[in-house]
Structure 1
Amino acid sequence: MVAPTGARRGKGDHPALPVTDDEIVETWRACAAAGADGLHLHIRDTDGQHLLDADHYRALLARLAPIAPGAYLQVTSEAAGRYSATEQQAMVRALRPDHVSVALREMVRDPADWPEARAFYHWAAEAGVAIQHILYAPEEMRSFLAALSAGKVPGIHHQIQLVIGSYAGDPPSFADLETHVALMAGAEGQSFDWMLCAFGPEETACLVQAARHGGKARVGFENSLHMADGRLARDNAERVAEVAAAVAEVGGN
């Protein structure tokens, strides 16, 4: 999967970072040719700021559908400091996308948020909206597994997006990845289709390690602007090509 934009970076970070819908469409064409079979979508308002808007998403997905047959097209529900959990959930309910990423820490910022979050997770399952649950730390994985056991999140097969490292410059932790893998392996009665994203120049090495464990790769300018050798990538397609080749060597995807 390519994550070409994100909620925070802009042209000042890299001139090839796609911000407009036209740029996102052209970036998808290049990344698909380079080996991507999934797209993680962020949209922006007229000022270039992060946006959650069902109509805007719907129009962009309609543009992408003819040029992305069979591709995994996923919208984000990220708050990015602009939206409440209620607003995030309302956007997803209005859009009813096939695929959406949802961060557990944004749905449940306080234990008192669980009733609303539980209702949302159960609605999504009934509506056929596939949630990829974003987990940033082993503690969040433990909380997620506890929520499964308690029936707060329904189902026995789950899509997971693991995140290691951060925009703030925290290096990705291979130890955290190993802990996540062990926790998922020990979750009796549950199965996981999981993916990793990692920040910084270590992105490629982290994604290769995930592939060794049977995980999938999310790559792109949302998380890293650099190639494995430390140089600035030309564009998202160059990042996709490098990671696709590296992951293929270990039999991953």
Structure 2
Amino acid sequence: MTPLHPLPRLMVAPNGARRGKADHDSLPITLEETVATAVACQKAGADGLHLHVRDKEGKHSLDTGLYREAIATLEQAVPDLFLQVTSESAGRYSAAAQRAMIRDLRPRSVSVALREMLRTRTETPNARAFYAWAQGEGIDVQHIVYSARELKWLQECIDQGVVPGTHHQLQLVLGSYAGSVLPRPHDLESYMVPLDARRADLTFDWMVCAFGSAETGCLAHAATLGGKVRVGFENSLWNADGSLARDNAERVAEVRAVLDETAAVDEAGQTVSPRSR
């Protein structure tokens, strides 16, 4: 499964599946709000957008009609912005429903949690067929892993041929929605061990997201290690000083400034580091 398009250096995730206006007035719910947020975030320094759509009640949805409308509108408003859709279950969708959405929509880029595709061992044949199909269709799958253990599990799936290919895109998650323990920048080191252990035979285009007020610090550390970053209200509403961010664009601007200070990029805009995959 060799991705056709590299991940952007800085992706914004403006809403996610769970938060709403009660969490922050500027969290985008409607398509109009999402487009306005995308425009503002691109101006603030975002290179890509992680897209969630909501239904008429404001709930998380994997409806392909809503996705197509959103993608078409965003491509007009921000034609140079990398667009990625989510396949997140959020407790509403089965693995079969997630796969069906991706097969119908055929997005250029989609994030997929390994733990959601392989909820039980009986899902293995379906997952194998799905990942092979996505590779054949040229759909870039960014694998979401929530721990170093899950990253090792993904590597085992690659070895077993469940997930084909030797170059993959990763979303490494620091912290959790529960927020019981805030992530720390050095927590990222646990992911580096399995990445470095397979340096000889596997390569990864990896990105980090982090929950809570430590988001900026965690993302800055990721950039120094050669990683890319995802920022936004899906994971954090707070600036590095602990203040509530005005909007997603403010979060993007803060993180972009830190990236520009700490991580060099090549001519293609890709992060350069000795540990870059």
Taking structure 2 as the reference length, the TM-score comes to: 0.89
* CA offset digits 1:3-25 (Å, max 9, x no partner): 00000000000000000000000
Number of the residue aligned with 2:248 = 236
Paired letter, 2:81: A
Number of the residue aligned with 1:203 = 215
Kindly report structure 1 stretches of 4+ aligned residues shifted beyond 3 Å.
Answer: 173-176
Paired letter, 2:122: A
C-alpha separation between the residues in 2 aligned to 1:174 and 1:140? 19
Number of the residue aligned with 1:75 = 85
Number of the residue aligned with 1:20 = 30
Number of the residue aligned with 2:8 = none
C-alpha separation between the residues in 2 aligned to 1:125 and 1:139? 24
**1:147 maps onto 2:187 in alignment:** no
SS of the equivalent of 1:115 reads: helix
C-alpha separation between the residues in 2 aligned to 1:174 and 1:205? 6
Q: What is the percentage of aligned positions where both structures have the same residue?
A: 57
- Counterparts of 1:63-142 in structure 2, within 5 Å, are 63-142=73-152
Deviation at 1:118, TM superposition (A): 0.8
Deviation at 1:155, TM superposition (A): 1.1
C-alpha separation between the residues in 2 aligned to 1:55 and 1:185? 41
* CA offset digits 1:118-155 (Å, max 9, x no partner): 11111000011100000001110010001111111011
C-alpha separation between the residues in 2 aligned to 1:124 and 1:238? 35
Paired letter, 1:180: Y
From 139, 159, 165, give the equivalent of 2:169: 159
Query: How many residues are paired up?
Result: 253
C-alpha separation between the residues in 2 aligned to 1:162 and 1:127? 25
Paired letter, 2:227: G
SS of the equivalent of 1:80 reads: coil
Paired letter, 2:202: Q
SS of the equivalent of 1:210 reads: helix
C-alpha separation between the residues in 1 aligned to 2:54 and 2:145? 24
Taking structure 1 as the reference length, the TM-score comes to: 0.97
From 245, 248, 253, give the equivalent of 2:260: 248
Number of the residue aligned with 1:224 = 236
**1:183 maps onto 2:164 in alignment:** no
- Tell me, yes or no, if the aligned pair for 1:199 and 1:224 is still in contact at 8 Å: yes
Of structures 1 and 2, the one with the larger relative CO (CA 8 A, separation 6+) is 2
Larger mean Cα displacement after TM superposition, 16-25 or 54-63: 54-63
Number of the residue aligned with 1:194 = 206
Number of the residue aligned with 1:32 = 42
* CA offset digits 1:27-63 (Å, max 9, x no partner): 0000000000100000101111000011110111011
Number of the residue aligned with 1:214 = 226
Deviation at 1:113, TM superposition (A): 1.3
C-alpha separation between the residues in 2 aligned to 1:21 and 1:69? 16
Deviation at 1:211, TM superposition (A): 0.3
**1:171 maps onto 2:182 in alignment:** yes
Deviation at 1:67, TM superposition (A): 2.6
- Over aligned residues, Cα RMSD in angstroms? 1.1
**Unpaired segments of 5 or more residues in structure 1?**
none
C-alpha separation between the residues in 2 aligned to 1:173 and 1:137? 14
* CA offset digits 1:175-207 (Å, max 9, x no partner): 541121221122131111100000000000000
Larger mean Cα displacement after TM superposition, 178-187 or 215-224: 178-187
